[in-house]
Amino acid sequence: MAPTTKSTGKNIEAETALQAVVLADSFNERFRPITLDMPRCLLPLCNTPLIEYTLECLAVAGVQEVYILCRAHSEKIKNYISTSKWNRSHSPFKIIPIVTPEARSIGDVLRELDAKQLISSDFILISGDVVSNIHLDKILDAHRTRKNIDKNLIMTMVVKEASPFHRTRSLGESSIFVLDGKTQECVHYESAELYPHKRNMIMDMEVFEKHSNVQIRNDFVDCQIDICSIEVLALFTENFDYQDIRKDFVYGILTSDLLGKTIYCHIVKDAYAARVRDLQTYDAISKDVLSRWTYPIVPDSNLQEGDSYEYMRGQIYKEQNVSLSRSCVLGEKVIIGSGTEIAENVKITNSVIGRRVNIGPNVKIDGAYIWDNVTINANCSISRSILANNVVLEENVIVNKGCLLSYNVIIGPKITLPSYTKLTRHKQNLDYDDYDTKDKEDKEINQLLHAQNIKLVKDNQKDDSYDIKLIGENGKGHIWNDETSDVEDDDEAKNIKVTTLAYDLSNLSFTDDESTASVISEGSSDEESDSDEPSNLEIFSKEVAQTVERAFSEGHTIEIASLELNTLRMASNTSFRDTRIVVIPSILNQINTDKLLASTKDVLTRWGPLIGKLVHSKDDQTDALFTLQKYCAKTDINSKIFAPSLRTLYEIDVIEEDAILEWYYDERSKGGVGKPEIYSKIHDVIAPFVKWLEEAEEENSEEDDE
């Protein structure tokens, strides 16, 4: 018997070559001035170009044809692809670059793709800066199954479940997805930037009439991976108002009364996926790769031809042909590329060191990204900054947090760069017409920069306009201003600010001339002081609480929970104490006060070692006891938790007797002025246990004397 028409159609779709479209241009300026020289998709993340992570994900999914849509630096992208492993005979797919020099948005490039009529069936649409270990083939199967049920389905958006303050979510931009709880159909979408805080949204009541189970979700990381039908391209062509995929296209489709198309979400829980949207997420995702959350997409998988990374204890990755002095110290989460030489008394922690980097003696590097061919001379210090290829730091240079030194910049000697300084060899605010070049690539870039009055400077061109006071007598480089002050929307300027590298939200000060920060903090009205803007520490605390709750619900091991907390702590640049302040109450909240003694012993025997991972000295242990006392002093019921908690923590060797005695004899533990009477009750109830400790210590001393 011949197969039915439905089966034949399904087989034909399955046999069609699986196609993917990679968006190599972000159409924003979040990585400037670095992207004046190199497209974002070729910037290194843990010494591997970003696009490699995207292409690896597509290869695993069984993609056979990849179209790379590029605008700026298209020649660099084409040259990279032509010399990469993806252009070899054994490549799993064929790559076709498509240059769209006139495009000014993602909508423009998709309209140009539609005009070429290259896409023949459902395809994967993905950004060229996505890092993921998701198996897209399973998501494709789920999409096709939904499509057989819902003929109006045109797109499935891949989202990852994560807390609203997850480190891989961009602080400046987020999304609200309204879903049918049963089918995961997306019935409404809105963007939700950090500023202004969204307190309400407008939805058609018909949504609730059609869908009995509606979920409003703000706990997704938008992976920027979509499974699309060919109708998506046609709809972009029909509507020139569609510029952004989410804010324009998805929102427009879901609010249209005429189109009748549907969009679904595929929720991922047990895999990793995130997009490098800005410098903040670049930092977070780099830390995740080093911490192996992206496994098997990790450095020692050696994604590129010629890679030779080996994994070492402490999450250290080192290539062959690396020269390390005996006195150098490598902390956790460090990767070092081949050809790098590191001199005496160098300390490197939480950092990426590229290939052929030369680091002189007495250098400190913490939380920094040092790309290829960088030279760092003696007595330099670099904190949470990016140094692009061929940067040179002369002796005694201090690079404070958040700095961005673009290609070929030279600093020093004896210079301290202020935090968040951006430097480039290109001049800003110069007449474009003064620069004449015959280089095809430079012409292309200059066309893009013409409206912004940016001038490219060749390495062999002399430039006498450097600010010697800023960059030093041997320095070469110009200050780069993001010009957020020119942004008409003040909230948009804030959203740009918070996505910079190592930016602390508490540093934001966008006040009117008549209202300074000091006035607000000291003499403002209640309405003014009741700010909705979360501080960096508040965001961190919420994320820690979410992490611990997830560990409880999913039964994580202590090692896994500790690893995630430490990754979060380092990504947020906070202390162990900040982490303990949240973790200890979260653990104590698990105690069932109806069965207080048994529950306390069970909970702390299971989770007390996690507190142990956060204390590293007697002072830490004493501080942890004050945190425990503060929690127990909240209510009379909580106060009964203190004594059994202290005893259990002592028995499992989290708190030692010296710390207990120091806490007990500290006047602060006894209460006093400004503290409730319950503090002294907690202190007194532990007196018999303290007496027992002291007597046991005396007996041990007498035995030792004998």
Tally the C-alpha atoms within 13 A of residue 42's C-alpha that lie toward its C-beta. 21
Query: Could you tell me if residue 377 is inside a domain?
Result: yes
Boundary residue ending a domain (225, 260, 275):
275
pLDDT band at 387 (very low <50, low <70, confident <90, very high): very high
Please report the pLDDT score of residue 464 as a whole number: 56
Considering the domain architecture, whether residues 562 and 484 belong to the same structural domain is answered as no
**Contact at 8 Å (CB) between 404 and 499?**
no
Domain match, 491 and 565 both? no
Dump pLDDT digits (tens) for 538-574: 778 888 888 888 888 888 888 888 888 887 777 676 7
Residue 51 has pLDDT above 90, yes or no: yes
- Claim: this prediction has a pTM higher than 0.75: no
179 and 228 share one domain? yes
- CATH number, domain of 473, equals 2.160.10.10
Please report, rounded to a whole number, the percentage of residues in the chain having pLDDT higher than 90: 33
Query: Does the residue 287 lie in any domain?
Result: no
Q: In terms of domains, do 396 and 482 share one?
A: yes
Spatial CA neighbour of 506 closest among 540, 484, 534:
534
> Which is more confidently placed, 276 or 459?
276
Number of structural domains (the chain) is 3
Please write the tens of the pLDDT for every residue from 436-488. Answer: 333 444 444 455 444 444 555 554 445 557 888 888 899 999 998 875 544 45
Q: Are residue 686 and residue 573 in the same domain, yes or no?
A: yes
Burial class (CB in 10 A: 0-12, 13-18, 19+), 438: exposed
Residues 635-671 pLDDT 10s: 888 888 898 999 999 998 899 888 888 888 887 887 7
As to burial, measured by CB atoms within 10 angstroms (0-12 exposed, 13-18 middle, 19+ buried), residue 706 is exposed
Distances in Å between the Cα of 385 and the Cα atoms of 129, 291, 334, 569 are 20, 19, 15, 17
Q: What is the CATH number of the domain that holds 139?
A: 3.90.550.10
**Over the stretch 112-160, which tens digit does the pLDDT of each residue have?**
999 999 988 899 999 999 999 999 989 999 999 999 999 999 999 999 9
55 and 192 within one domain: yes
Domain membership of residue 434 (yes or no) is no
pLDDT of residue 523: 32
Range of the domain at 324: 309-428+468-505
CB atoms within 10 A of CB 240: 11
Q: How confident is the model at residue 501 (pLDDT cuts 50, 70, 90)?
A: confident
Same domain for 90 and 201: yes
Average pLDDT, the chain: 81
CATH code of the domain containing 545: 1.25.40.180
Q: Does residue 421 sit in the same domain as residue 331?
A: yes
Q: In sequence order, what DSSP letters do the residues of 275-309 get, joined into one string? A: E--SHHHHHHHHHHHHTTTTTTSSGGG--STT---
